[in-house]
Amino acid sequence: MKNLFKVSAMLAVVVLTLTGCNCFTKMAKNKDDVKLTCTPEVLVLNNGKVEADITVTFPVKYYNAKAVVKVTPVIVFEGGEVAGATQYFQGTKVDDNYTVIDQKMGGEYTMHVSFPYDERMECSELQLRAEIKCPSGKCKEFTLVNLNNGAIPTKEEAAILAAGGAEADALKRTFGLTIAQGVNTLQKDIDFADAMQNMASGYKNVITEVTRADYKYAINSSSLSRKAQTTDELTAFQQKAAEQKDNDRIKQNIYINGYASPDGPEKFNDKLSAARSESGKKAAEKLLKEIGLPLDAASYGEDWEGFKELVAASNIENKELIISVLNSFESSSEREAQIKNMSQVFDVLKDEILPQLRRAQLVNSSDITGKTDEEMIALVREGKFDQLDEKEMLHIASTGKLGLEDTIITLEAAAKEYASVTAYNNLGVAYAEAGEGVKAAEAFNKAVNAGGSATEINNNLALVNLMNGNTEAAKAYTVNASKETKALAAAAEGNYAAAQSQLEGYNAAVAATMNADYTAAKQFIAKDASAEADYLRAVIATKQGDMEAATAELKSAISKDGSLAERCKKDVNLRGYIGKEIVL
């Protein structure tokens, strides 16, 4: 740590040369022995706060037994300042309840200061401001002292201070002793959104839609009646096939499958199902002749699977027992025998289930190709969300083909229309990527309210709380979070060594830089050509004293992201560039 009293004016000097403040006169003798240190020397943003330990070491026989010093730490920045907790020191003969400095023994005293972070603090100074009081002379009440030259205010300065306002604030700043400059805000660069997880859209560009219609037969018959060929079900089948014929996004595959009900001899039923397949094919060709699509035919014998499905969907008593019996036997004859032995239900099966299985089933398996990504993008940009379903909106938002603004607009439309867990969750991730932490948290909470489980979006809830500086709230979720999320939680709390060991890529590089492991930091982003990675490489080069490399990396970063030109002017990590223009 530096002895700030030996590189600039110091607290000791203040109290040493004060004209008219009798109890401080003799304290000047050992001024060079008073030590003042600030840890860290460059302030660091951690968990939404800026903290430091300021240590003052008073030598033996230094502190006047009647003196009182009031010290206030203040972070000063353009447009404002934030004061920390005031600390009081008193001599042994002062009748107050402050920290006592024994003249005979001296002592070391540490003030822990903590400030809530303000964006303006990035380019700032940490000052100490002191007021003095002694029982005789001009300082019987606390009097502001200039810590840079030891002077108390002149009459004119006292009048300005008494009046208050901007001029008084400016004067107070000139009286303050700067002990640290700038705030290292690299922790803000941790990309919590990058670790958040989108839910799958469920979108498929090609979906298969199956339509069925049955030709029904009399028992043991493969002949179709006129009535069996003119049902509403068959008419609807034909109409849909005709409507889809000229749609170039739809490929229709039409089949006719013959079946027999599983009663009677198995060999007979095999022949019967084949005959039904043939007669059904002829009827179907007649039904679909205007469409002109090929028609495949097949036979499947006894329809035990259809039997199970119909029984499971029925209201028949003991249906679970019937299905259990079917699953217990492989042989068709054994199954039939067991079912017939269940006399209490067989009559119901014979009347309600078996007639439905005497059929030739017409099947249209249509492969439907959806919109291209380009078509979806065009609809998004035209605001025609009514022409996109939820899965399409979730899909196109996940492709990276939309800009972030359009992605958010698309997901907002999906969430508004469908209010689904997936839409809200993915919207939360998009908000986080845009730096909208509060909106992201609201979206994730809506996902939970829409029926999402805490487990399902646990990582996102942890990460958004970390992003918003709510580390205590995040702990409720980090317990069951992924290793990556736990590592990011460690980084958010300033435990960069633990974070570095569990992270990869850019986030790992930030943690390693904060951990002063610059070699590892460069390795983590060796293949990252983003503006952010270039900027971080410039920071690392600056810390290693390689200003030529730092300048080259800064120019590269700014060429990719112009906003970084302003950032580097205030970044304490790039001291050599503060206030300067980078010429590309």
pLDDT per residue as tens digits for the range 30-77: 556 778 899 998 899 998 899 999 998 888 888 888 889 999 999 999
Cα 417 from Cα 287, distance rounded (Å): 41
Region for residue 26 given its phi and psi (left: phi exceeds 0; alpha: psi -120 to 50; beta: otherwise): alpha
> What is the reported pLDDT for 4?
36
How would residue 317 be classed by pLDDT, with cut points 50, 70 and 90? confident
Task: Give SS3 for 13.
Answer: helix
Output DSSP code: residue 350. Answer: I
DSSP H or E run through 109: strand 107-116
Number of H helices, E strands in the chain: 23, 15
User: Residue 148: what are its φ and ψ, rounded to 5°?
Assistant: -90, -25
More reliable by pLDDT, 212 or 471: 212
Mean pLDDT throughout 372-387?
96
Cα 536 from Cα 512, distance rounded (Å): 11
Residue found by looking up tokens 């025609």 in the block:
384
Cα 42 from Cα 11, distance rounded (Å): 20
More reliable by pLDDT, 36 or 438: 438
Cα 99 from Cα 491, distance rounded (Å): 35
pLDDT digits over 393-427, tens only?
A: 999 999 999 999 999 999 999 999 999 999 999 99
User: Residue 118: what are its φ and ψ, rounded to 5°?
Assistant: -120, 135
Residue found by looking up tokens 């919207």 in the block:
427
If you average pLDDT over every residue of the chain, what do you get?
89
pLDDT digits over 75-84, tens only?
A: 999 889 999 9
Q: What are the respective helix, strand and coil percentages of the chain, to the nearest 5?
A: 50, 20, 30
More reliable by pLDDT, 328 or 445: 445
User: Residue 91: what are its φ and ψ, rounded to 5°?
Assistant: -80, 175
Asked whether the predicted pLDDT for residue 29 surpasses 60, the reply is no
> What is the reported pLDDT for 112?
94
Mean pLDDT throughout 200-215?
94
Output DSSP code: residue 351. Answer: I
Cα 256 from Cα 294, distance rounded (Å): 11
Strands 250-260 and 295-302, sheet pairing = parallel
Residues pairing with 33 in the sheet? none
Per-residue CA distances from 252 to 97, 238, 289, 366, 519 (Å): 91, 12, 14, 4, 60
How would residue 9 be classed by pLDDT, with cut points 50, 70 and 90? very low
Stretch among 196-210, 237-251, 327-341, 395-409 having the lowest mean pLDDT? 327-341
> CB 584: neighbour CB atoms within 10 A?
10
> What is the reported pLDDT for 26?
65
Cα 89 from Cα 529, distance rounded (Å): 54
- Concatenated DSSP letters of 119-161: GGGGSEEEEEEEEEE-SSSS-SS-EEE-TTT-PPP-HHHHHHH
How would residue 25 be classed by pLDDT, with cut points 50, 70 and 90? low
pTM greater than 0.85 (yes/no): no
Asked whether the predicted pLDDT for residue 574 surpasses 50, the reply is yes
Which token pair is 475?
């702990």
More reliable by pLDDT, 578 or 427: 427
> What is the reported pLDDT for 385?
96
Mean pLDDT throughout 168-183?
91
Which token pair is 23?
């109890």
Q: E strands along 337-451, which residues?
A: 359-369
Mean pLDDT throughout 156-168?
91
Cα 132 from Cα 154, distance rounded (Å): 15
How would residue 106 be classed by pLDDT, with cut points 50, 70 and 90? confident
> What is the reported pLDDT for 560?
94
Cβ-based neighbours of 497, under 8 Å, separated by 6 or more = 515
Which token pair is 103?
């003249």
Q: How many CA atoms lie within 13 A of 105 on its CB side?
A: 8
Asked whether the predicted pLDDT for residue 149 surpasses 80, the reply is no
Per-residue CA distances from 397 to 20, 408, 487 (Å): 73, 8, 28
Cα 484 from Cα 499, distance rounded (Å): 8
Stretch among 94-103, 226-235, 507-516 having the lowest mean pLDDT? 94-103
Please name the amino acid found at residue 558: I
